[in-house]
Structure 1
Amino acid sequence: MSQQPVLQMQQVIKSYHGARSQQVLRGLDLAVAPGEYVAVIGESGVGKSTLLNLLAGLDQPDSGEVRVKGQLLSALNDNEATLLRRRHIGFVFQAFHVLPQLSVWQNVRLPLALNGLPDDGIDAMLVAVGLAEKAQRKPRELSGGEMQRVSIARALIHQPDLLLADEPTGNLDPETARTILDLLKSRLRATGAAGILVTHSMLAAATADRVLKLTPDGLIAVAP
Structure 2
Amino acid sequence: MSDLPASPVAPPIRIEGLAKRYGTDTVFTDVSLRIDPGVFVAILGESGVGKSTLLNCMAGLDHWDAGTVHLCGHDLGAAGDEQRAILRRRHVGFVFQAFHVLPHLDVAQNVGLPLLLLQAPAVERTDRVRQALAAVGLEGLDQRLPQQLSGGQLQRVAIARALVHRPALLLADEPTGNLDPGTAARVMDLLIAQTRQHGASLVLVTHSDTAARRADRVLRLTARGLEAAD
> Same fold judged by TM-score > 0.5?
yes
In structure 2, the residue matched to 1:69 is 72
Aligned to 1:54, which of 51, 57, 65? 57
Contact 2:155 2:187 in 1 (8 A): no
The residue type equivalent to 1:149 in the other structure is R
Aligned to 2:94: 91
Give the Å deviation of 1:187: 2.8
The answer to whether structure 1 residue 121 and structure 2 residue 124 are counterparts is no
Which residue number corresponds to residue 164 of structure 1?
171
AA aligned to 1:15 is R
Structure 1 114/78 Cα, relative in aligned 2: closer, same or farther at 3 Å? same
Structure 1 residue 217 displacement after superposition: 1.6
CA RMSD of aligned residues (A): 1.8
Unmatched tracts of structure 1, length 5 or more: none
Q: 1:113: how far off?
A: 1.7
**Map 1:82-161 → 2, pairs under 5 A:** 82-117=85-120, 118-119=124-125, 120-161=127-168
Residue 33 of structure 1 is matched in structure 2 by 36
Deviates more, 1:171-180 or 1:207-216: 171-180
Provide the rounded CA distance (Å) in 1 between the counterparts of 2:208 and 2:133: 25
CA distance in structure 2 between the aligned counterparts of 1:181 and 1:142, rounded to whole angstroms: 18
Instruction: Please give the per-residue CA displacement for 1:38-89, whole angstroms capped at 9, x wherever unaligned.
Output: 0001110111111111011011210100110111101111111110011100
- AA partner of residue 19 (structure 2): I
3-state DSSP of counterpart to 2:170: strand
Aligned to 1:173: 180
- Within 5 Å, which residues of 2 pair with 1:185-204? 185-204=192-211
> What's the counterpart of residue 5 of structure 1?
11
Answer whether contact 2:152 2:187 (CA < 8 A) is retained.
no
Retained in 2: the 8 A contact 1:148–1:171?
A: no
Q: Which amino acid aligns with 1:209?
A: D
- The TM-score, its normalising length taken from structure 1, stands at 0.91
User: Can you give the 5+ residue segments of structure 2 that lack an aligned partner in the other structure?
Assistant: 1-8
